[in-house]
Chain A
Amino acid sequence: MALFSVFQTTFLLALLSLRTYQSEVLSEPLPWAPESLRVFINSTHQCLHLQWSVHNLAHHQELKMVFQIEISRIKTSNVIWVENYSTTVKWNQVLHWSWESKLPLECAKHFIRMRSAVDDAKTPKQSFWSNWSSWEEVHVQNSLGHDPFFVFPKDKLVEEGSNVTICYVSRSQQNNISCYLEGVRMQGEQLEPNVSVFNLNHVAFIRETGTNIYCKGDQGDSIKGIVLFVSKVLEEPKDFSCETQDLTTLNCTWDPRSDTGLLKQLSQSYTLFESFSGKKTLCKHKSWCSWEVAPESQEMYNFTLTAENYLRKRSVHLLFNLTHRVHPMAPFSVLFTDVSATNATMTWKVHSTGNYYTLLCQVELYGEGEVIQHNVSVEVDGKQLFGGLEPDTEYRAQVRCANANHFWKWSEWTRQNFTTTEAAPSEAPDVWRNVKSVQGHSVVTLFWKPLSKLQANGKILFYNIVIENLDRSSISRLLSIPAPANGTELNLDQCLYQIHVTANNSVGTSPASVIIVSGDPGNKEVEEERVKGMEDGFSLSWKPQPGNVTGYIVEWCDHPRGPLCDLQWKSVGPTTTSTVVSSDAFRPGVQYNFRIYGISTERVPYLLEKKTGYSQELAPSDNPQVVMSNLTSRSFTLSWKDYSTESQPSFIQGYHVYLKSKAGQCHSGSEKAVLSDDAVCCKYKIDNPKQKTFVVENLQPESFYEFLVTPYTSVGEGPHGAFTKVTTPDEYSPILIRIILPMVFCILLIMIICYLKSQWMKEKCYPDIPDPYKSSVLSLIKSKENPRLTIMSIKDCVPDSIEVLNKQEGTRKSLTETESSKATYLYLLPTDKSYSGPGPCICFENFTYNQAASDSASCGHVPVAPVAPPSQLGLLTSPENLLKALEKNYMNSLGEIPAGETNLNYVSQLASATSGDKFSLPTNPPEPALCSEYKMQMAIPLGLASPPSSGSSSLSSVTLLDEGEHYH
């Protein structure tokens, strides 16, 4: 135990002595310690720049040394960075070292110190550090102004995605300051009582003009801010490539990717460096650069393309042989020679790229949807022959070339078009005919289809038609129809004709198409069959013909309803007995008729079958126009004979007759049906589409009915449109009509006759002035009844007495005489005082009337009083005059007066006789009546008559009277 204690004490003493020795060695200053340490600040880059020197180095001595640098923040014990910097130190050399701080230098104090060690094999004392230099303090805040607070770093430029630390430094420790980025408050941490830092991680690019970051205190008195510039990350140039077209200039291109240009930073620049020649060029463009090929024959090139901006550099490398990067220029002078209908020769030239290069050229020919490709080896001029071309066809040829030895890239295409020449048509036109017999002649319409482009071999100019009469072979005709006609009409007799049709272009004639036409159209009666259309057309089949046929032709009209039927046909071979006819013109609801002809070995077509059908049947859109007839109280007849079944959109299978009645009962032969409007009616079904009449029976008299006739087809029936209304009559109406109608007719006839013969009737039955001698009615009455009551006989007229008064008129003057003589009055007074009727009349010759008094109405009756006015009588007042008159116009009995004395007036006897007061002058004399049958009673010479008055006779008579005069 004691031994152990002695050993332990000895070991501790030895260790202590060793430690003491070491301390003495280390405390000895190293001869090459760093001295004159100075620290410089670069706030813009947040860098500390250190500068120091090493003394005691011998002249021309070089020593490898290690400098350990320590950086503390806020306080010296808070070391944040330790780095060993190794370098070779020379005599009297000033050494430099930089350090970039993540934290803006204004945000905190920094302390720097360093020590050195020799790291040189030539020096034995190499493993001992020198003493630390004293701490160098860096405190930028001392140089700030007097503002309440500051924000750092100013105008910082960083790359997108990097981390940035921001701080504010406040003058006061109590300031509560908040900071914002794009309006969003940032969360920070306190570094010192008056300093807070904000760590922004993975900052994003927002805009080229920078991002405002600002801080404001709770006092709200000031806002301080900075602008942070975030640059896009500079990317490596992509697709860097160099090539030459002429072996004198290299053209290098690349994809520059995104532009990193900012307010604080220009866009990235590009530099091209070639290592073999050591040449360098700054590119003027962002995506390409030119490089002059050295005149000396440098084949290998090693390029370095460097993209550089304020923050970063990116480089790409490219090593190549110049001859392997030849991109020839496009060929030129492309020409076509010896162009015929089927051949052409193409020639072209290429740009020279030196004497030792052979080019491989690729030639492509485009025509009619196909491409022909050729590869040609070319040194100077190229040539290629094209064969097997189509006549009259435009082709497009193009050529490009590449380096034959070391393919790099094809040149651009050089294109040129050419057209082959025409050739004679290769195929005969497809010909068909339509024959009609008109008045013993055949009207043959020839149709042909235009040749396709491949068949025509050029532009068809005209069609030649040779008509050969087979019955009289010596006769033939030639017609030339200019294109683009596709048919012609021929008038032929009933003979057999062979018609040749050829198509002609500028070069030649096509083979002839031959068809035989006879007077017989060949349209024999054959049964028409129905076919059902499909989506792609009509599938037609027919029975094979037992004899030899050279083929079949199916004929139809594309527009059967149009005025031009647009005849179409399809030719098939002799072994074919079915075909599908399709056409873009086929429409649903249109009936198409097909005729199938066989072509005999003599080329005579004959009709085999007829077929009809719809590509798609549609329901009828219209109902027939129905005429109703034979309406009785129990039935009526419906008829729609004008309804065409062939022009309907589907095959008519029959008709439905709907009958609505109030009773709602359906009789036998009909069934109840419910219409779309839920109306119930009776439905009669007519299965025969040709039956277009129908008798509706078992009706009720005086009942209201509605009916509708609609066709039905396989796809439905016609529309249920408006019903026609009808009311059945009663049962007796027809009988009454049979009686009443003739009666009404007879009455009307009589009325018409009476109207037409009214004058005659009037004269015969009720004349204005009855003539006893002319009235047959009266005569009839006379003969049958009492003749005395009707016709007056002369014998019955016995004058009773005549009193003539001669009254003196002294005061009165005539118009013609200054003084009138005594008037003479004749009074005819019946003896029988009781007489008042017209029967016993008084007949006399009255001399008191003159002619002029009645001139106003040549044959009028002027009823006057039996006593003439004195003034008028004045002319006859003298007895001589009167006697003279009497001599000439004697008093006549009421017998016959000779005719011809119509210029004489008379006085109506009838008026005086009918007047109540026969002695008074009538105040309203009746109008003169024409054509009196009376004879004049006295004729007076015109010279004796007084001038007639212009007015009526009655008026004139009144005006001539003096006032106070009156008649009795």
Chain B
Amino acid sequence: MKVLAAGVVPLLLVLHWKHGAGSPLPITPVNATCATRHPCHSNLMNQIRNQLAQLNGSANALFILYYTAQGEPFPNNLDKLCGPNVTDFPPFHANGTEKTRLVELYRIIAYLGASLGNITRDQKVLNPNALSLHSKLNATADIMRGLLSNVLCRLCNKYHVAHVDVAYGPDTSGKDVFQKKKLGCQLLGKYKQVIAVVAQAF
């Protein structure tokens, strides 16, 4: 039995050896689960507020550019075609704690970022000549990426939140052209509405 123990246990150890096995464990930091690639900015909340203000300032122009580029009946039927009827849009509670608000903001920006990607892809095909719309969509998506990174930094550094479950909007790739236009318009209408509330909350 001893022989067995003396022969098998090292063998098992060898078989299950991996990097770090057998070496001393490192001291686990408090935010060990929050790994950010770059150090977060010192004045993070201020930067988040600025980015939200920037998005809020350009949201209406983006909305107008979008529905103008789609042609009739969009500009004259905004309530029916571009109303903010997005059912699965992440909620936001302005009176929540900062942590809650940051988590909800993260979800919203993740949702919007994905949807903007779909819209940008569709519009490059549906309206290849609407260059100003493409430019505005790309600029908004860029700001959202930066905002998402900052929010994640904040959540990770201050609240040690390393993971947030997010939901994304419907994929429009299988939809017909009119439906793509309509979904994009609805999403941008919702975005214009939500971003004003969120910017005000921060």
Mark A residues whose CB is within 8 Å of B. Answer: 154-155, 180, 182-183, 209-210, 212, 214, 216, 220-227, 263
Instruction: Decide: A209 near B126, CB < 8 A? Known: A182-B72, A183-B72, A222-B80.
Output: yes
How many A-B pairs fall under 8 Å by CB? 53
B80 lies within 8 A of A220 (CB): yes
Instruction: Decide: A180 near B73, CB < 8 A? Known: A209-B126, A209-B127, A216-B80.
Output: yes
**Residue in A183, A216, A226 whose beta carbon sits within 8 Å of that of B178 in the complex:** A226
Chain B positions within 8 Å of A155 at CB level: 176-178
| A265 to B: closest C-beta gap in Å | 12
> Could you list some 26 contacts between A and B, CB below 8 A?
A154-B177, A154-B178, A155-B177, A180-B72, A180-B73, A182-B72, A209-B71, A209-B128, A212-B70, A212-B71, A212-B72, A212-B73, A212-B74, A212-B178, A222-B80, A223-B73, A224-B178, A225-B182, A226-B176, A226-B177, A226-B178, A227-B176, A227-B177, A227-B178, A263-B126, A263-B128
Task: Give the CA-CA distance A214 to B71 in the complex, in Å.
Answer: 12
Task: Give the CA-CA distance A154 to B176 in the complex, in Å.
Answer: 6
Chain B positions within 8 Å of A154 at CB level: 176-178
Is B81 among interface residues, defined by CB-CB distance under 8 A? yes
Mark B residues whose CB is within 8 Å of A. Answer: 70-74, 77, 80-81, 125-129, 176-178, 181-182
Chain B positions within 8 Å of A220 at CB level: 80
Task: Give the CA-CA distance A212 to B185 in the complex, in Å.
Answer: 15
| B143 to A: closest C-beta gap in Å | 28
A214 lies within 8 A of B126 (CB): no
Besides the known contacts A182-B72, A212-B178, A227-B177, 18 further A-B residue pairs in the complex with CB atoms under 8 A apart: A154-B176, A154-B177, A155-B176, A155-B178, A183-B72, A183-B73, A209-B126, A210-B126, A212-B73, A214-B73, A220-B80, A224-B178, A226-B176, A226-B177, A227-B178, A227-B181, A263-B126, A263-B128
Chain A positions within 8 Å of B128 at CB level: 209, 263
Task: Give the CA-CA distance A222 to B77 in the complex, in Å.
Answer: 10
Task: Give the CA-CA distance A214 to B181 in the complex, in Å.
Answer: 12
B127 lies within 8 A of A214 (CB): no
Chain B positions within 8 Å of A210 at CB level: 126, 177
Task: Give the CA-CA distance A514 to B64 in the complex, in Å.
Answer: 94
| B110 to A: closest C-beta gap in Å | 27
Task: Give the CA-CA distance A212 to B125 in the complex, in Å.
Answer: 16
| B177 to A: closest C-beta gap in Å | 4
Task: Give the CA-CA distance A225 to B178 in the complex, in Å.
Answer: 6
Chain A CB within 10 A, most for which of B72, B74, B127, B181: B72
| B74 to A: closest C-beta gap in Å | 8
Chain A positions within 8 Å of B81 at CB level: 223
Chain A positions within 8 Å of B126 at CB level: 209-210, 263
A263 lies within 8 A of B176 (CB): no
Q: Which of chain A's residues has its CB closest to B76's CB?
A: A183
Chain A CB within 10 A, most for which of B71, B73, B176, B178: B178
Chain B positions within 8 Å of A224 at CB level: 178
Q: Which of chain B's residues has its CB closest to A151's CB?
A: B178
Q: Which of chain B's residues has its CB closest to A222's CB?
A: B80
- Shortest Cβ-Cβ A-B pairs, 3 listed: A154-B176, A227-B177, A225-B178
Task: Give the CA-CA distance A496 to B110 in the complex, in Å.
Answer: 117
Task: Give the CA-CA distance A224 to B176 in the complex, in Å.
Answer: 11
Q: Which of chain A's residues has its CB closest to B180's CB?
A: A227
Q: Which of chain B's residues has its CB closest to A220's CB?
A: B80
Task: Give the CA-CA distance A224 to B129 in the complex, in Å.
Answer: 25
| A259 to B: closest C-beta gap in Å | 14
Chain A CB within 10 A, most for which of B71, B127, B177, B181: B177
Chain B positions within 8 Å of A182 at CB level: 72
| A637 to B: closest C-beta gap in Å | 92
Q: Which of chain A's residues has its CB closest to B74's CB?
A: A212
Chain B positions within 8 Å of A214 at CB level: 72-73, 178
Q: Which of chain B's residues has its CB closest to A226's CB?
A: B178
Q: Which of chain A's residues has its CB closest to B81's CB?
A: A223
| B197 to A: closest C-beta gap in Å | 26
Task: Give the CA-CA distance A224 to B178 in the complex, in Å.
Answer: 8
**Residue in B70, B125, B178 whose beta carbon sits within 8 Å of that of A263 in the complex:** B125
Task: Give the CA-CA distance A222 to B178 in the complex, in Å.
Answer: 13
**Residue in B80, B129, B178, B182 whose beta carbon sits within 8 Å of that of A221 in the complex:** B80
Task: Give the CA-CA distance A442 to B66 in the complex, in Å.
Answer: 98
| A364 to B: closest C-beta gap in Å | 49
Chain A positions within 8 Å of B182 at CB level: 225
Chain A positions within 8 Å of B178 at CB level: 154-155, 212, 214, 224-227
Q: Which of chain A's residues has its CB closest to B127's CB?
A: A209
B80 lies within 8 A of A223 (CB): yes
Q: Which of chain B's residues has its CB closest to A229's CB?
A: B177
Chain B positions within 8 Å of A223 at CB level: 73, 77, 80-81
| A868 to B: closest C-beta gap in Å | 123
Task: Give the CA-CA distance A214 to B76 in the complex, in Å.
Answer: 12
Chain B positions within 8 Å of A221 at CB level: 80
Q: Which of chain B's residues has its CB closest to A227's CB?
A: B177
| A220 to B: closest C-beta gap in Å | 7
Q: Which of chain B's residues has its CB closest to A223's CB?
A: B80
Q: Which of chain B's residues has its CB closest to A181's CB?
A: B72
Chain B positions within 8 Å of A263 at CB level: 125-126, 128, 177
| A145 to B: closest C-beta gap in Å | 11
| B46 to A: closest C-beta gap in Å | 42
Task: Give the CA-CA distance A209 to B72 in the complex, in Å.
Answer: 13
| B119 to A: closest C-beta gap in Å | 15
| B153 to A: closest C-beta gap in Å | 41
A225 lies within 8 A of B80 (CB): no
| A912 to B: closest C-beta gap in Å | 122
Task: Give the CA-CA distance A180 to B80 in the complex, in Å.
Answer: 15
Chain A positions within 8 Å of B80 at CB level: 216, 220-223
Task: Give the CA-CA distance A227 to B181 in the complex, in Å.
Answer: 10
Task: Give the CA-CA distance A223 to B79 in the complex, in Å.
Answer: 10
| B109 to A: closest C-beta gap in Å | 30
| A705 to B: closest C-beta gap in Å | 86
Task: Give the CA-CA distance A212 to B127 in the complex, in Å.
Answer: 13
Task: Give the CA-CA distance A226 to B175 in the complex, in Å.
Answer: 11
| B127 to A: closest C-beta gap in Å | 6
| B135 to A: closest C-beta gap in Å | 18
Task: Give the CA-CA distance A270 to B77 in the complex, in Å.
Answer: 43
Q: Which of chain A's residues has its CB closest to B129's CB?
A: A209
Chain B positions within 8 Å of A226 at CB level: 176-178
Task: Give the CA-CA distance A183 to B181 in the complex, in Å.
Answer: 17
Task: Give the CA-CA distance A255 to B81 in the complex, in Å.
Answer: 44
Chain B positions within 8 Å of A227 at CB level: 176-178, 181
Chain A positions within 8 Å of B70 at CB level: 212
| B140 to A: closest C-beta gap in Å | 22
Q: Which of chain B's residues has its CB closest to A213's CB?
A: B178
Q: Which of chain B's residues has its CB closest to A221's CB?
A: B80
Chain B CB within 10 A, most for which of A210, A214, A220: A214
Task: Give the CA-CA distance A526 to B81 in the complex, in Å.
Answer: 106
| A458 to B: closest C-beta gap in Å | 65
Task: Give the CA-CA distance A155 to B80 in the complex, in Å.
Answer: 21
Q: Which of chain B's residues has its CB closest to A154's CB?
A: B176
Task: Give the CA-CA distance A968 to B70 in the complex, in Å.
Answer: 139
Task: Give the CA-CA distance A225 to B70 in the complex, in Å.
Answer: 12
Task: Give the CA-CA distance A155 to B128 in the complex, in Å.
Answer: 17
Task: Give the CA-CA distance A220 to B80 in the complex, in Å.
Answer: 8
Chain B positions within 8 Å of A183 at CB level: 72-73
| A143 to B: closest C-beta gap in Å | 15
Q: Which of chain A's residues has its CB closest to B70's CB?
A: A212
Q: Which of chain B's residues has its CB closest to A214's CB?
A: B73
Task: Give the CA-CA distance A227 to B176 in the complex, in Å.
Answer: 8
| B28 to A: closest C-beta gap in Å | 52
| B69 to A: closest C-beta gap in Å | 9
Task: Give the CA-CA distance A224 to B126 in the complex, in Å.
Answer: 18
Chain B positions within 8 Å of A180 at CB level: 72-73
Q: Which of chain B's residues has its CB closest to A206's CB?
A: B71
Task: Give the CA-CA distance A214 to B177 in the complex, in Å.
Answer: 12
Q: Which of chain A's residues has its CB closest to B71's CB?
A: A212
| A168 to B: closest C-beta gap in Å | 13
Task: Give the CA-CA distance A263 to B124 in the complex, in Å.
Answer: 10
Task: Give the CA-CA distance A216 to B77 in the complex, in Å.
Answer: 10
